[in-house]
Structure 1
Amino acid sequence: MRKVWRRACALAVAPLVMASAAACGGNDSEDAAGKKTLRVIVNITPNLTEKYWSGLFARYEKNHPDVKVKLELTGTISANAKLTQDLAAGDPPDIAQQISLTAENASLFTDLSDQPWTNDTPLVDQYAIDGKRYMVGVGEQIQSLVFYNKAAFTKAGVDATKIRTMDQFTSAMGKLKSAGYKPLQTAGQWVTGAQFSMMADAGVLTEDPQWTVKRNQGKGSFADSGYVPYLKHYKSWIDSGYLEKSALGLTYADGQTAFLNGKSAMYIMGSYFVPAADAAKKSDEIGVFSMPTDGAYPSGQFGNISNPYVVVNKSRHKAEATEFVKWLVTDREAIKSQLAADGNLRGGFSYPMSSLGTEVQKVLDKAPSVIVKSGSSQPISGFSDELNKQIQSLYTGASAKNAAAGLDKWWNSQS
Structure 2
Amino acid sequence: MMSTNRGSKARGAALAVVPLVLVAACSSGTGSAGGEDGEIRMMVNLTDNLDQAYWEKLVKPFEDKTGLKVKIEGPTGKSVAESFPQQLAAGTAPDVIQSIFPDDDTAPELVDLGDEPWAKGTPMFDEYALGDKHYAVGVGTQTQSLIYYNKSAFEKAGLTKTPTTWDELEDGLAKLKQAGYTPMQTAGDFQTGLQLQQIYHPTLNQLHPKWQTAVSDEKLTVGEAYEPAFRMYKEWIGKGYIAKSDVGLSPSQADGNFIAGKVGLYTNGSWFAATLDQAEDLPFEVGVFSPPAADGKPYPGPQGATMANPYMVHKGTGDEDGAKQLVEFLVTDPVAIEAQLGSDGVFRKDADVQQTAVDSQIQTILDDAPELVAVGEGQGNVRLPVTGFNPKFTEVAQSLYTGAGPADAARTIDQWVDENR
TM-score, normalised with respect to structure 2: 0.79
In the alignment, structure 1 residue 398 sits paired with structure 2 residue 404: yes
Give the equivalent residue in structure 2 for 1:233. Answer: 232
Give the equivalent residue in structure 2 for 1:268. Answer: 267
Change (3 A) 1:402 1:256: same
Aligned to 1:396, the other structure's residue is in SS state: coil
Return the alpha-carbon distance in structure 2 between the equivalents of residues 49 and 276 of structure 1.
18
- Identity between Structure 1 and Structure 2 (%): 35
Q: 1:308 aligns with which of 310, 316, 324?
A: 310
Alignment RMSD (CA, Å): 3.0
- What is the identity, as a one-letter code, of the residue corresponding to 1:370? L
- What is the identity, as a one-letter code, of the residue corresponding to 1:130? G
| Bigger proportion of residues as helix | 1
Change (3 A) 1:321 1:189: farther
Return the alpha-carbon distance in structure 2 between the equivalents of residues 254 and 314 of structure 1.
47
Return the alpha-carbon distance in structure 1 between the equivalents of residues 75 and 179 of structure 2.
44
Change (3 A) 1:51 1:195: farther
Give the equivalent residue in structure 2 for 1:41. Answer: 44
Does 245-254 or 178-187 show the bigger shift? Answer: 245-254
Q: How does 1:207-226 map to 2 (within 5 A)?
A: 207-225=207-225
1:134 Cα deviation after fit: 0.4
Give the equivalent residue in structure 1 for 2:413. Answer: 407
Q: How does 1:137-152 map to 2 (within 5 A)?
A: 137-152=138-153
Return the alpha-carbon distance in structure 2 between the equivalents of residues 356 and 339 of structure 1.
14
Partners of 2:303 and 2:366 within 8 A in 1: yes
Does 327-336 or 380-389 show the bigger shift? Answer: 380-389
Give the equivalent residue in structure 1 for 2:279. Answer: 280
1:250 Cα deviation after fit: 4.0
Change (3 A) 1:361 1:104: same
Write the deviation string for residues 221-267 of structure 1: whole angstroms up to 9, x where unpaired: 23333x21111111222333333344444444443333223232221
Change (3 A) 1:298 1:42: same
Change (3 A) 1:245 1:310: farther
Does 169-178 or 399-408 show the bigger shift? Answer: 169-178
Return the alpha-carbon distance in structure 2 between the equivalents of residues 93 and 200 of structure 1.
38
Partners of 1:274 and 1:357 within 8 A in 2: yes
Partners of 2:127 and 2:381 within 8 A in 1: no
Aligned to 2:212, the other structure's residue is in SS state: helix
Change (3 A) 1:299 1:78: farther
Return the alpha-carbon distance in structure 1 between the equivalents of residues 58 and 364 of structure 2.
28
TM-score, normalised with respect to structure 1: 0.80
Change (3 A) 1:64 1:254: farther
Return the alpha-carbon distance in structure 1 between the equivalents of residues 279 and 150 of structure 2.
14
Q: How does 1:3-402 map to 2 (within 5 A)?
A: 28=34, 36=39, 38-42=41-45, 44=47, 48=50, 52-63=54-65, 66-72=68-74, 79-84=80-85, 86-87=87-88, 91-161=92-162, 163-225=163-225, 227-281=226-280, 285-295=285-295, 296=297, 297-313=299-315, 318-347=320-349, 349-372=351-374, 373-380=378-385, 381-402=387-408
1:315 Cα deviation after fit: 5.5
Question: Number of aligned pairs?
Answer: 383
Partners of 2:150 and 2:261 within 8 A in 1: yes
Aligned to 1:266, the other structure's residue is in SS state: strand
Write the deviation string for residues 162-199 of structure 1: whole angstroms up to 9, x where unpaired: x1222332332232233332222233333222222212
Return the alpha-carbon distance in structure 2 between the equivalents of residues 393 and 238 of structure 1.
12
Give the equivalent residue in structure 2 for 1:12. Answer: none
Listed as ranges, the gaps of 5+ residues in structure 1 are 1-25
Change (3 A) 1:113 1:298: closer
- What is the identity, as a one-letter code, of the residue corresponding to 1:371? V
- What is the identity, as a one-letter code, of the residue corresponding to 2:381? S
1:51 Cα deviation after fit: 5.8
Return the alpha-carbon distance in structure 1 between the equivalents of residues 411 and 91 of structure 2.
40
Partners of 2:202 and 2:304 within 8 A in 1: yes
Return the alpha-carbon distance in structure 1 between the equivalents of residues 212 and 340 of structure 2.
30
Return the alpha-carbon distance in structure 2 between the equivalents of residues 43 and 180 of structure 1.
42
1:90 Cα deviation after fit: 5.9
Does 246-255 or 288-297 show the bigger shift? Answer: 246-255
Does 83-92 or 178-187 show the bigger shift? Answer: 83-92
Return the alpha-carbon distance in structure 2 between the equivalents of residues 317 and 275 of structure 1.
36
Aligned to 1:329, the other structure's residue is in SS state: helix
Give the equivalent residue in structure 2 for 1:13. Answer: none
Write the deviation string for residues 30-57 of structure 1: whole angstroms up to 9, x where unpaired: 75xx663624222748x75666445424
Partners of 1:42 and 1:74 within 8 A in 2: no
Listed as ranges, the gaps of 5+ residues in structure 2 are 1-31
Write the deviation string for residues 372-411 of structure 1: whole angstroms up to 9, x where unpaired: 3433322233222322222222233322212211221122
Return the alpha-carbon distance in structure 2 between the equivalents of residues 89 and 305 of structure 1.
28
